[in-house]
Amino acid sequence: MNEKSTQQNKTQRGKEKKGGIFQIDLKPTKIRLISQIVFVIIAFYLTFFFFSRITSICWADPFWHLQALFANRGDVEGQLFIPEGDLSVKIAIYSVGFLGIFVVLALLFGRLFCGWICPFGSILQFLEVISPIKNKVHFPEELKDPDIKYLVLFSFILLAILSTQEAFCEFCPAGTIFKGATGHVLYFSIPVFIIVMLSVMVYGRKTWCSYLCPLGAFFGIFSKFHIFGIKPTGECVKCLTCNKNCPMDILIAEKYIQKGKSITDGDCIKCMQCIESCPRKILKFP
């Protein structure tokens, strides 16, 4: 009798969950996937229907605006691809404001942009999923140095200052996709694009996002101080499941969870896989 009653209760609870839109329990990774799809669609829409073929997706790229400011040596009246006049000032102010929005986002949520908004990161994730190499190769411990991306960041900022041009755009693998789709070929970026694609298929998206992406490095600086991070709400049992499921190879358990700390790693892209994979469900965001 008790077993029958228990089964009826389970059936009733199942019906209740399906009862309305407000009772649908979406997993964080599913919500993130929806966000990624939306922003990839927006990126291609902006590329084909909104921006010119010359600038393409650059106007929506935070790193382009960061380079532009340094290329003009911080002069808000710099020309920023606009010959002269009041329009150049408006564009410069737009660059500062646009970049500022994402800086605030990074200070609040870390590299949320990289995991939820960045269209190129989403494309890399898709490539990682369809890669025939399912068990991605991990970098040897002696070669693990995600801080190399900060060297990439400061190198291209220095190049922007010296050349007064947005130097990274000539090598940007994302530009190969979005600018290339409109017929604007970036010859220097093609070999970079091929190398990144092959590396992602073997090692996963961390190859680009954790080691090479200058925009990821820029957001990673603020991520170390962000307010709302993934945090433990219970005791870690040291199963290391979160480590195994982290696409960025962060030692989540040892560095943060076992110490009762929020994850403030500069490489955490808030993919939420650690939250879902935790068998004790002790990780929460925000």
Predicted local confidence at residue 19, as pLDDT: 44
Pair of tokens at residue 210? 């954790």
Condensed to tens digits (0 to 9), the pLDDT of residues 108-161 reads 999 999 999 999 999 999 998 888 887 777 766 666 677 889 999 999 999 988
Condensed to tens digits (0 to 9), the pLDDT of residues 52-88 reads 555 556 778 889 888 888 877 555 554 444 445 565 6
Q: Are 147 and 212 in contact (CB under 8 A)?
A: no
Cα–Cα dist 205/198, whole Å:
10
Closest CA to 207 of 253, 145, 254: 145
Cis omega (within 30 of 0) on the bond before 214? no
Cα–Cα dist 65/127, whole Å:
27
Dihedral over alpha carbons 194, 198, 203, 206 (to 10 degrees): 20
Predicted local confidence at residue 81, as pLDDT: 47
Q: Please tell me which residue, 72 or 20, carries the higher pLDDT value.
A: 72
Condensed to tens digits (0 to 9), the pLDDT of residues 214-248 reads 999 999 998 888 899 899 999 999 999 999 999 99
DSSP calls for 34-62: HHHHHHHHHHHHIIIIIS-TTTGGGGG-H
Q: What is the mean pLDDT of residues 31-42?
A: 94
* Most confident residue range from 6-15, 48-57, 68-77, 258-267: 258-267
Percent of the chain at pLDDT > 90 equals: 37
**Cα–Cα distances in angstroms (integers) from residue 273 to residues 189, 197, 247, in the given order:** 31, 22, 8
Q: Are 105 and 113 in contact (CB under 8 A)?
A: yes
Cα–Cα dist 251/265, whole Å:
9
Q: Are 102 and 111 in contact (CB under 8 A)?
A: no
Residue 174 has pLDDT above 50, yes or no: yes
Model confidence, pTM:
0.79
DSSP calls for 78-103: --TT--SSHHHHHHHHHHHHHHHHHH
Long-range contacts of range 181-185, CB-CB < 8 Å, 24 or more positions apart? Answer: 181/44, 181/47, 181/48, 182/47, 182/48, 182/53, 182/56, 183/53, 184/53, 184/54, 184/56
Per-residue exposure over 145-173, b if at least 16 CB sit within 10 Å of its own CB, e if not: ebeebbebbeebbebbbeeeebbbbebbb
Predicted local confidence at residue 116, as pLDDT: 95
Helix (H, G, I), strand (E, B) or coil at 15: helix
Cα–Cα dist 98/44, whole Å:
19
Strand partners, 232: 283
Pair of tokens at residue 37? 């799809």
Residue 197 has pLDDT above 50, yes or no: yes
Pair of tokens at residue 28? 């964080």
The sign of the CA dihedral 74, 78, 81, 86 is: positive
Residue 277 has pLDDT above 70, yes or no: yes
Residue 11 has pLDDT above 50, yes or no: no
Cα–Cα dist 214/220, whole Å:
9
Predicted local confidence at residue 26, as pLDDT: 76
